[in-house]
Amino acid sequence: MCMTQHTHLQPLQHSYRQFIYPYAQHITFAVTLTMKMRAKVRVKRFDNYGDEYYEYWVTLDDEKIRSTIKRFTARLTALLYGNHARHKNKRAWATPLLIVTVEGRNTHKREHLHLALGNIPDAKRTHIESFIKQAWADCDFGYKQTETKLLFDGYGWLDYMTKEVGYTDNDALDVASSTIPKFIQDSICTESRLLTA
The count of C-alpha atoms lying within 13 angstroms of the C-alpha of 164, restricted to the half-sphere facing its C-beta, is 19
Ranges 48-52, 113-117, 135-139: which has the least confidence: 48-52
Which candidate, 139, 90, 144, places its Cα nearest to that of 119? 90
Percentage of the chain lying above the pLDDT 70 cut: 90
- Cα distances from 102 to residues 17, 60, 61, in angstroms, run 15, 13, 12
User: pLDDT at position 130, please?
Assistant: 95
User: pLDDT at position 192, please?
Assistant: 53
pLDDT in tens, 145-160: 999 999 998 999 999 9
Distance CA 110, CA 156 (A): 23
pLDDT in tens, 3-42: 334 444 478 888 888 889 999 999 999 999 999 999 988 8
Amino acid at 70: K
User: pLDDT at position 4, please?
Assistant: 34
- Cα distances from 59 to residues 16, 48, 102, in angstroms, run 30, 28, 16
pTM above the 0.75 mark?
A: yes
